[in-house]
Amino acid sequence: MSAQVDEIKKGPNSRASAKSARPKKPNGQWKVDGQEPLNKNEIDKAEDNGLNVRTRIEEVYSKGGFASIDPDDLHGRFRWWGLYTQRKPGIDGGRTAKLEPHELEDEYFMMRIRTDGGALNLEQLRTIAQIAEDFARGSADLTDRQNIQLHWVEIENVPEIWRRLEAVGMQTTEACGDVPRGFLGSPVAGIAADELIDPTPAIEEITRRYIGDPSLSNLPRKYKTAITGHPSQDVVHEINDCSFVAVEHPEHGIGYDLWVGGALSVVPRFAERLGAWVAPDQVVDVWLGVTEIFRDYGYRRLRNKARMKFLLADWGPEKLRDVLETEYLGYRLADGPPPPKPMVAGDHVGVHRQKDGKYFIGTSLVAGRASGTLFHQIADLIEEYGVDRIRLTPMQKILILDVDEADLDDVVARLDGLGMSSRKDLFRRSVMACTGIEYCKLAIVETKQTAIDAVTKLEERLADIDLPHPISLHLNGCPNSCARIQTADIGLKGQIVTTDEGEQVPGFQVHVGGGLASKDRDEAGLGRTVRGLKVTVDGLEEYVEKMVRRFLDGRSDAETFSQWALRVEEEELV
């Protein structure tokens, strides 16, 4: 009783005060708390660097088969070489969160091929096409990070795939894992007539020096980089951990504006400018410094807090810049201006003149769905016209470079015959989708085929209208936002929804009004979530058509879809 009396005398805030007085748990920051691992992931990384698993894959697992793989390697270190187990067919989305990883996974792998900056030559394209045919049941999808994903890969074939890729200068090194993932680079680097600066040398030097470097292969979590020298800002820099955006300094000339701390997922946050101008010859050192800050100060105790965005949120851009300059660079960076608003589209769809007088053709594939067969067909086509280069884009598009003016009409028509449209289509141009339940163990709904079906039906349903600008439609199979749903005009997050009849079916929660800086938008903004607004997969086209027609009927002059969607009452969006 006396203890209760004492508690009453202390007042109602005593427990809170006692709680706040307790020492905070360490965040696992190496330079603050030491390098003692604080969870299973960190223990596994400390015990054996993920890069080391390649030897075991080549010498043990590829010979012993799937059953010979150590679980810690299978569910962790394999990612350092671009390998994830894929989803076992036939498991519906309602069971995704109820089953353990080993119950969801098949004895096949997704393999991610890095294409830093999205650049491929003809030999590389043919090599990927043949690998897809020989070892991946023809699969070869484009991601929104300029990578290529193979599926149905068996562990026995992985060494041979590596051999073929590396023979033509390609790799899967650190395509996944707690490492510097593949670099987003402007797909028109070095060719665009209106380019400010070519970032290719910086990307190539960083890749050569630091991808596969053990000193950077144990980061708190994944780490994403983007760099562009094009005024369209075509690498979604606002949602990367570290980004460089070309800008002209009034005194120093062309360089880069530095952005840090962007990422989406379930806790979206846009990157912030550090206010620093980075000279072209400083890019590699600055990238390394920011990456080492993440390694040394990033939060490691809780994996859901182990991204650069959480460190930046706590530190702020001023402190992060100061630490970068004083602890890692040893010199001060010049203050610099922000990049101006983009005045041209960053998806590069259509026909565009290059700086050398030739042309590039930007084509749309629906939701990045490709194949080994398609890659063979593209290779045959471009070789016929003397073309040796293509580029992949962060919007799941393909650019065909170096086309002679006299050949443009023929090449455009033949690409269209392959399903690669260079027209300003209603939705084909601006639809994106993640891997979805077809292969992903985290997914709840199908995305790729849903997107393909939706585009086909919407083009029929809305054939009578002329949109003032593309309306982006992004489909994600789960809440993790691999397809950037919060930054789409209409973003769709996969989940199981209940119909009016009480039946549970695959569907989506709807976000509207999001976007990144573009010629139609001054700055990035997250989409609006309308409470309770969900659509079934079967009702998707009807809902999108309804929204588009309401927008066209209710918009003011020059108002974009996102502006309209953020302005109107919720009733208009249901």
What is the C-alpha separation between 551 and 490, in angstroms, rounded? 12
Q: Is 169 left (phi over 0), alpha (psi -120 to 50) or beta?
A: left
Lateral strand order in the sheet of 148-153:
83-87, 105-113, 148-153, 141-142
In a domain, 371, yes or no: no
Q: Domain check: are 440 and 562 in the same one?
A: yes
The tens digit of pLDDT for each residue in 255-275 reads 999 999 999 999 999 999 999
Q: Domain check: are 204 and 158 in the same one?
A: no
In a domain, 540, yes or no: yes
pLDDT band at 101 (very low <50, low <70, confident <90, very high): confident
What is the C-alpha separation between 89 and 504, in angstroms, rounded? 20
Q: Tell me what pLDDT residue 261 has.
A: 98
Q: Domain check: are 128 and 66 in the same one?
A: yes
* Average pLDDT over every residue of 7-29: 58
Q: Which of 362, 112, 91, 88 is nearest to 232 (CA)?
A: 362
Q: Which of 519, 529, 515 is nearest to 484 (CA)?
A: 515
The tens digit of pLDDT for each residue in 550-560 reads 999 999 988 99
pLDDT at 7 over 50: no
Helix, strand or coil, per DSSP, at residue 129: helix
Q: Domain check: are 202 and 161 in the same one?
A: no
* Average pLDDT over every residue of 532-561: 95
Residues spanned by the domain of 539: 431-573
Packed helices 283-297 and 308-315: angle between N→C axes, nearest 10 degrees: 90
What is the C-alpha separation between 156 and 165, in angstroms, rounded? 16
In a domain, 65, yes or no: yes
* Average pLDDT over every residue of 371-391: 98
Q: Could you tell me the pTM of the whole model?
A: 0.94
* Average pLDDT over every residue of 165-193: 98
Helix (H) or strand (E) holding 94: none
What is the C-alpha separation between 563 and 566, in angstroms, rounded? 5
* Average pLDDT over every residue of 190-205: 98
pLDDT at 1 over 90: no
In a domain, 379, yes or no: no
Do the beta carbons of residue 223 and residue 179 sit within 8 Å? yes
Helix, strand or coil, per DSSP, at residue 285: helix
* Average pLDDT over every residue of 304-330: 98
Beta bridge partners of 561: none
Do the beta carbons of residue 76 and residue 237 sit within 8 Å? no
* Average pLDDT over every residue of 225-237: 98
Return the CATH number at 262. Answer: 3.30.413.10
Q: Tell me what pLDDT residue 21 has.
A: 58
pLDDT at 9 over 70: no
- State in Å, rounded, how far the first CA of the chain is from the last one: 57
Q: Domain check: are 84 and 201 in the same one?
A: no
What is the DSSP-derived secondary structure letter of residue 485? G
Q: Tell me what pLDDT residue 20 has.
A: 55
The tens digit of pLDDT for each residue in 114-164 reads 999 999 999 999 999 999 999 999 999 999 999 999 999 999 999 999 999
The tokens describing 346, both together, are 């960053």
Q: How far is CA 312 from CA 119, 297, 333, 346, in A?
A: 31, 10, 18, 27
Q: Domain check: are 163 and 249 in the same one?
A: no
Final residue before a domain boundary, out of 311, 328, 345: 328
In a domain, 275, yes or no: yes
Q: Domain check: are 149 and 223 in the same one?
A: no
Q: What is the mean pLDDT of the chain?
A: 94
For the ranges 79-88, 325-334, 358-367, 517-526, which has the lowest average pLDDT?
Answer: 517-526
Tell me how many degrees the CA angle 121-347-462 measures, rounded to the nearest 5.
Answer: 125
* Average pLDDT over every residue of 37-58: 97
Q: Domain check: are 211 and 313 in the same one?
A: yes
For the ranges 21-30, 345-354, 475-484, which has the lowest average pLDDT?
Answer: 21-30
> Which residue did the predictor score with more confidence, 362 or 427?
362
Q: Domain check: are 149 and 202 in the same one?
A: no
Return the CATH number at 159. Answer: 3.90.480.20
Q: Domain check: are 479 and 550 in the same one?
A: yes
Q: Domain check: are 461 and 547 in the same one?
A: yes
Q: Is 328 exposed, middle or buried (0-12, 13-18, 19+ CB in 10 A)?
A: middle
What is the C-alpha separation between 80 and 233, in angstroms, rounded? 29
In a domain, 19, yes or no: no
The tens digit of pLDDT for each residue in 285-307 reads 999 999 999 999 999 999 999 99
In a domain, 339, yes or no: no
Beta bridge partners of 506: 496
Q: Is 236 left (phi over 0), alpha (psi -120 to 50) or beta?
A: left
Q: Tell me what pLDDT residue 75 has.
A: 95
Instruction: List Cβ neighbours of 530 (8 Å cut-off, separation of 6 or more).
Output: 510, 512, 570, 573, 574
Pairing type for strands 141-142 and 119-121 reads: unpaired
Q: Domain check: are 545 and 441 in the same one?
A: yes
Count CB neighbours of 134 within 10 A: 14
Looking at the chain, the whole-number percentage of residues with pLDDT higher than 70 is 96
What domain count does the chain have? 3
The tens digit of pLDDT for each residue in 54-66 reads 999 999 999 999 9
pLDDT band at 18 (very low <50, low <70, confident <90, very high): very low
